[in-house]
Structure 1
Amino acid sequence: MTTMATTTAARADSVRYAALGAKLLMFALLLTALIWPDLSGIKGKAATARLIVYPIGAMVLPLWWWAYGRTRSKLHQTFPWPADLLLTLPWLIDLLGNRFNLFDTVSWWDDAMHFILWGLLTAGALLAFAPRNLSRGLTTFVALGFGATAAVIWELGEYVAFVRNSPELQTAYTDTLGDLTLGTLGALVAGLVVYRRSASAAH
């Protein structure tokens, strides 16, 4: 029993350190983008909007916890570090992908990111805010609702911020449809995974 408790505590510490490390790295990348914009990989790709939106996205759960969750949350007794890590990783991975120019040099990278990052984001939102006793159907519907809505907002933001004035406009319609489809599929997979994890934990 003591060994199991120690293992669980060590795992929780690892997740907490990973979440904090992801945030620190993300903020470091954003800071370097301010200092050396030509090297950031996001120049000409709505850099200003990313510098505003990404910190908000990574900090939304800690801010919610500070303002409300720590005293009145019925879902969590302590800060939900796994959810926080999942909600931080999409912003960090996107920055890294742009920093290493993967979106423009690897043909499948953009599609993979829309599927994977929306899956991570949806899983984080479900773990942070969705009740644990939802059925598989309701979990799936919540995941699809959140994921599809977030994907639409992202695509609208991309269009307003830089696509409409870039060479990508000619292929934007097809690309947007593909991005929305992959983001929604990623959210669907995340919903099923989170449900299975919650069901297993309940037993």
Structure 2
Amino acid sequence: MKEDFLRRPRTVAEYGADAIRVIGVLSVLVAAIWSTPTDAGILALATPALMLPRALGMRGGADLAVGVTVLVAAASNVFDLYRSVPGWDLVVHFVCTGAIAATGYLVLARLRIVPAQDSPEFRRRIPVVLCTILGLAVSAVWEMIEWAGRTFVTDEIFVTYEDTIGDMALGGLGALAAGVLVAFVRLERVRGAVKL
């Protein structure tokens, strides 16, 4: 993982993914100085999710897609898009949960808990089932964090029963879609590629 994290970018997508990481870190600093601690905290929570795809050695396009998705999800909270744009919350839950579930599958493959995409033991049904489960679990944890934030930190966080169920349902569907993607599209870059 260290080698993947420290390697130089080679493609336009890899440079773009690194630019998103820089924007993510800078946005935490900007929010800490000129916005509220809640906004800075939300953006800081996104930072590990911006770094993980690089450490996993994701292909440039997948890395960029995860980074943009996570940053948009965090920024949408800061700019109050979840309340001001009808349905935006559901779109972001679908896409972001899917991105997190696919990344989660790669983490489990790196830990040798599940077969990697290039392994002879890999079966397409495995990521379809596992990503869906991961997505539903992540959705449940996220909704608990929202509840705790509203209960113990600030009542500015919007939480209702209908919102929670809708978010989890769309997150589960996004994770299912991500599982299908992992089943058919290689997300990690090929190891041992020629260095330029």
- Give me the TM-score of the superposition, normalised by structure 1: 0.70
**Which has the higher mean CA deviation after the structures are superposed, 136-145 or 108-117?**
136-145
Alignment of 1:139 with 2:127, yes or no, is: yes
Shift of 1:48: 5.5
Q: Is the 8 A contact 1:80 1:128 kept in 2?
A: no
Q: Identity over aligned residues, as a percent? A: 26
**Which has the higher mean CA deviation after the structures are superposed, 181-190 or 91-100?**
91-100
- Give me the TM-score of the superposition, normalised by structure 2: 0.72
Code of the aligned partner of 1:21: A
1:73 maps to none
Rg comparison, structure with higher value: 1
Code of the aligned partner of 1:112: V
- Mapped to 2, the partners of 1:183 and 1:94 lie a distance apart of 13
Higher helix share: 1
- Output one character per residue of 1:142-173: Cα deviation in whole Å (capped at 9) or x when no partner: 1012111111111111111125652767x611
Q: Is the 8 A contact 2:53 2:63 kept in 1?
A: yes
- Mapped to 1, the partners of 2:157 and 2:105 lie a distance apart of 33
Count matched residues: 167
The match for 1:20 among 18, 31, 42 is: 18
- Mapped to 2, the partners of 1:24 and 1:148 lie a distance apart of 29
Alignment of 1:121 with 2:64, yes or no, is: no
Code of the aligned partner of 2:58: P
What secondary structure does 1:90 align onto? helix
2:167 maps to 179
What secondary structure does 1:166 align onto? coil
The match for 2:45 among 27, 41, 53 is: 53
Shift of 1:87: 3.8
Structure 1 unaligned regions, length at least 5: 1-10, 70-78, 199-203
Alignment of 1:96 with 2:97, yes or no, is: no
What secondary structure does 1:162 align onto? helix
The match for 1:148 among 136, 140, 158 is: 136
Q: 1:28 to 1:49 in 2, by over 3 A?
A: closer
CA RMSD between the two structures: 2.7
1:3 maps to none
- Mapped to 2, the partners of 1:163 and 1:81 lie a distance apart of 40
Structure 2 unaligned regions, length at least 5: 1-8, 110-115, 187-196
